[in-house]
Amino acid sequence: MVHRREVNGQAIVFGNQGDLWRNAMTLFDHETGSIWTQPTAEAILGERTGESLELLPSTLSTWADWKAQHPDTIALDVMTVSSGVRLGQLVVAASVNGEAVAVPFRDLRDAGAYSTVIAGEPVLFVADQDVDQWAVYSRVIDGDERALELRDGVVFDPASGYRWSPALGSSIDGQAPLDRIPSFSSFAKDFENHFPDGELVDLK
């Protein structure tokens, strides 16, 4: 998950607090020592209790695929062992104005794409089946809701005929890129623990 580390215009410095809350990592901010939970980026203890950070769009990818798409990327190389977690074990979740929806990645990969509405925002969950990557985009283009779909390996707008890359949202036909929706990957159980009012969609 990726959050903007800013509260009321102030950049916040965080560290790993070391404990788990609802089976998820907790952080502390250096200024007040308040404790924050990672999944919702909300302060749950201390002076900043109730404040939260803005969720940003993210994705999960292999380093090889990411490097091919973003060759100028600089990454921190940390000596560690593999977690053993595979994308097929996770759900893809999106959150808009406090409402959250999740789709099992395996189902999304099989279906290619899934359209829904979250908190009034028309969105498209899409899987790039060539590189096992996912993204969530707004289906509003030029102020109009569109019935976007995955066709021939690209995101396609039947109304205009325009096409976009499913992994990057970049236009194939010279149009503006698709707008990303705040999203992340998670285990299904953890999604339900931290977003009890969220919807876990069964695409089968």
**What pLDDT does 67 receive?**
86
- d(C-alpha 163, C-alpha 173), whole Å: 6
Collapsed DSSP state (helix, strand, coil) of residue 107: helix
44 and 71 in a single domain? The answer is no
- d(C-alpha 153, C-alpha 137), whole Å: 16
Per the structure, the complete domain to which residue 40 belongs is given by 2-54
| Mean pLDDT of all residues in 124-141 | 89
104 and 136 in a single domain? The answer is yes
| Mean pLDDT of all residues in 147-161 | 94
Pick the range with the lowest mean pLDDT from 25-34, 101-110, 123-132. 123-132
92 and 160 in a single domain? The answer is yes
pLDDT tens digits for 66-118? 888 889 998 877 777 766 777 778 999 999 998 999 999 999 999 999 999 99
49 and 70 in a single domain? The answer is no
71 and 43 in a single domain? The answer is no
Cα 198 versus chain centre, distance: 14
**What pLDDT does 60 receive?**
76
**What pLDDT does 61 receive?**
76
Report whether 102 contacts 114 (CB < 8 A): no
**What pLDDT does 68 receive?**
86
The total number of structural domains in the chain stands at 2
Phi first, then psi, for residue 188 (nearest 5°) are: -60, -45
165 and 79 in a single domain? The answer is yes
184 and 118 in a single domain? The answer is yes
Report whether 162 contacts 7 (CB < 8 A): no
Share in percent of the chain as helix, strand, coil (round to 5): 10, 40, 45
pLDDT tens digits for 33-68? 999 998 888 999 999 999 999 988 887 777 888 888
**What pLDDT does 130 receive?**
76
49 and 76 in a single domain? The answer is no
What CATH code is carried by the domain that includes residue 71? 2.102.10.10
100 and 46 in a single domain? The answer is no
100 and 177 in a single domain? The answer is yes
109 and 186 in a single domain? The answer is yes
Residue 80: exposure state from Cβ atoms within 10 A (0-12, 13-18, ≥19): exposed
Share of the chain above pLDDT 70, in %: 98
Collapsed DSSP state (helix, strand, coil) of residue 69: helix
**What pLDDT does 173 receive?**
92
- Report whether pLDDT(160) > 90: yes
Name which residue leads in pLDDT, 81 or 4. Answer: 4
**What pLDDT does 145 receive?**
96
